[in-house]
């Protein structure tokens, strides 16, 4: 691709202006198998050159390791980028393979301090509640998050995997800049509630896993056989066993459209998210994750592909035919409560 920068989008009514596509950094040290740290660092620099300015991490990605890995890059380019991180997935020291969702004030307060320390910055640009703990009223959680804004520790607030009702209740307490939830050709459950609510309230969407965790690119067809033993995708029902074969066959129209555009499957998946968000009138900044320079170039170039109505119609039935859920335990998602 040429070196011209990607377009910019404002995140929510009062949020920062960012490149129309962000970068998911999770895989650089968590969830998706072995990483080449040098190539991952070069990918961060390349992304910024291309106009990608929203960089996404979380305290839970490798128990803080991902934030620590990103810190030198963030500090070197502090004024050029927007740092997004998250709290809520607590790892009990006596049982480090499990995660407990925590939205209570003492937990949030210690989580923000720990993230600021690991990132080694004075302020987090966009701070998300990663998952919802239904034992704590969302108004209470967002109340604590808004105190962090007043104290100058955080600039903007976000929520991940919330329902439309939860978003509305949160917005009544403090402006919410963005909702980060899974949204792709394969995962469209959020269109039932949170997407229209976000559109109505002027909240931006940050679609995560817009490449269906890589499956939509055709780079793997069955997690059981194609991915390493510790790869998180081996726990996801739609990428394993008989479901994987059913789902791989669903990529045929994506392949056809990619051929017509001289594009890759992944680029068509990304172009679909952009066009779908526009149809709901929501500002959207998808955050495809990659650790490779060539792929960040390919993904950024997808922001320039506009799918036509007929192409959108061809892609429309795919999500309803997907075999298997996006999480083994759907209570981990907004759809489990919507």
Ligand X SMILES: NC(=O)c1ccc[n+]([C@@H]2O[C@H](COP(=O)([O-])OP(=O)(O)OC[C@H]3O[C@@H](n4cnc5c(N)ncnc54)[C@H](OP(=O)(O)O)[C@@H]3O)[C@@H](O)[C@H]2O)c1
Task: List residues near ligand X by CB under 6 A.
Answer: 24-27, 32, 56, 130, 160-161, 180, 208-214, 217, 219, 266, 287-292, 295, 298-299
Specify the residue for token string 């739609």.
238
Catalytic residue among 32, 61, 107, 128: 61
The CB-of-254 to ligand X minimum distance in angstroms stands at: 13
The CB-of-170 to ligand X minimum distance in angstroms stands at: 16
The CB-of-292 to ligand X minimum distance in angstroms stands at: 5
The CB-of-330 to ligand X minimum distance in angstroms stands at: 13
The CB-of-293 to ligand X minimum distance in angstroms stands at: 10
Nearer to ligand X, 85 or 171 (CB): 85
Give Cα separations from 319 to 216, 228, 247, 250, 322 (angstroms).
Answer: 12, 26, 10, 9, 5
Specify the residue for token string 């040098």.
38
Nearer to ligand X, 153 or 295 (CB): 295
Nearer to ligand X, 216 or 283 (CB): 216
Nearer to ligand X, 38 or 309 (CB): 38
Distance of alpha carbon 180 from alpha carbon 284, whole angstroms: 10
Nearer to ligand X, 160 or 197 (CB): 160
| Beta bridge partners of residue 55, listed in sequence order | 23, 83
- SS3 percent helix, strand, coil of the chain, rounded to 5, is 45, 15, 40
- The closest alpha carbon to 181, from 130, 147, 137, 141, belongs to 130
For this structure, is 61 an active site residue?
Answer: yes
- What does DSSP assign to residue 59? T
Which residues are within 8 A (CB) of 280 and not within 5 positions of it... i.e. 6 or more apart? 191, 195, 196, 198, 199
CA angle, corner 164, sides to 161 and 166, nearest 5?
Answer: 75
Using CB atoms, what's the residue nearest to ligand X? 24
- Catalytic machinery residues: 61
């Amino acid at each position: 691709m040429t070196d011209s920068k990607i377009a910019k989008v404002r995140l929510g009514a009062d949020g920062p202006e960012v490149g129309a596509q962000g970068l998911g950094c999770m895989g650089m040290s968590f969830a998706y198998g072995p990483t080449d740290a040098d190539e991952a660092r070069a990918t961060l620099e390349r992304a910024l050159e291309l106009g990608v300015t929203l960089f996404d991490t979380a305290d839970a990605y490798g128990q803080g390791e991902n934030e620590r890995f990103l810190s030198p890059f963030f500090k070197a380019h502090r004024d050029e980028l927007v740092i997004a991180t998250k709290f809520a997935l607590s790892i009990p020291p006596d049982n480090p393979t499990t995660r407990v969702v925590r939205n209570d004030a003492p937990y949030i307060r210690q989580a923000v301090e720990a993230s600021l320390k690991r990132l080694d910055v004075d302020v987090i640009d966009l701070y998300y509640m990663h998952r919802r703990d239904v034992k704590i009223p969302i108004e209470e959680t967002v109340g604590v998050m808004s105190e962090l804004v007043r104290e100058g520790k955080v600039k903007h607030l976000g929520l991940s995997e919330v329902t439309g009702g939860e978003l509305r209740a949160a917005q009544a307490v403090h402006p919410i800049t963005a909702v980060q939830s899974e949204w792709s050709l394969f995962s469209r459950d959020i269109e039932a509630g949170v997407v229209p609510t976000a559109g109505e309230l002027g909240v931006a969407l940050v679609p995560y896993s817009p490449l269906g965790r890589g499956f939509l690119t055709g780079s793997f067809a069955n997690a059981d056989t194609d991915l390493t033993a510790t790869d998180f995708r081996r726990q996801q029902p739609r990428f394993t066993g008989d479901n994987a074969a059913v789902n791989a066959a669903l990529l045929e129209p994506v392949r056809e459209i990619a051929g017509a555009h001289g594009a890759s499957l992944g680029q068509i998946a990304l172009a679909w998210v952009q066009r779908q968000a526009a149809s709901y009138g929501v500002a959207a900044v998808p955050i495809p994750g990659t650790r490779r320079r060539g792929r960040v170039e390919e993904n950024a170039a997808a922001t320039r592909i506009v799918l036509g109505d007929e192409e959108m119609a061809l892609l429309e039935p795919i999500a309803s035919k997907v075999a298997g859920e996006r999480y083994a335990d759907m209570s981990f998602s907004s759809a489990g409560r919507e």
